[in-house]
Amino acid sequence: MPATLVVTSASLEAIDVALSTAHESLVEEIGRLRREVDSLLIGWSPDTESRRAQLGFDTRLGTGVEAMMAALAKIRATLQTVAADAHAAEVRNVAILD
């Protein structure tokens, strides 16, 4: 028996909302944590090897977060395309049955 996939617009919308919420929460929380670290380390001289290492890590973290956010945005865009395609298929199927 062939595999079937049942997609509902409600489930696609729920996934889209969850991805949007996750995106916003992650950006907010990571930003908050980075600001907190910066405030705690304000007196740490950037001339020290350990501070330069921490700043390098923070830069890499920022780059990684940006990549993760871009991936989430791409997933959401693809999901929205799937939702539009599913809706169009449903409209065609209703038109055929009418």
Predicted local distance difference test score (pLDDT) of residue 97: 66
- Which residue range(s) make up the domain with 89? 27-97
Domain membership of residue 9 (yes or no) is no
Domain membership of residue 59 (yes or no) is yes
Predicted local distance difference test score (pLDDT) of residue 7: 74
Domain membership of residue 6 (yes or no) is no
Give the pTM.
0.73
Domain membership of residue 13 (yes or no) is no
Domain membership of residue 2 (yes or no) is no
Q: What is the DSSP string of 44-57?
A: S-TTSHHHHHHHHH
Q: Work out how many domains the chain is built from and give that number.
A: 1
Domain membership of residue 81 (yes or no) is yes
Which has more confidence, 47 or 10?
A: 47
Domain membership of residue 15 (yes or no) is no
Predicted local distance difference test score (pLDDT) of residue 65: 94
What totals of helices (H) and strands (E) does the chain contain, helices first? 2, 0
Angle 49-97/9-40 helices, nearest 10 degrees? 170
Q: Are 75 and 18 in contact (CB under 8 A)?
A: no
Domain membership of residue 40 (yes or no) is yes
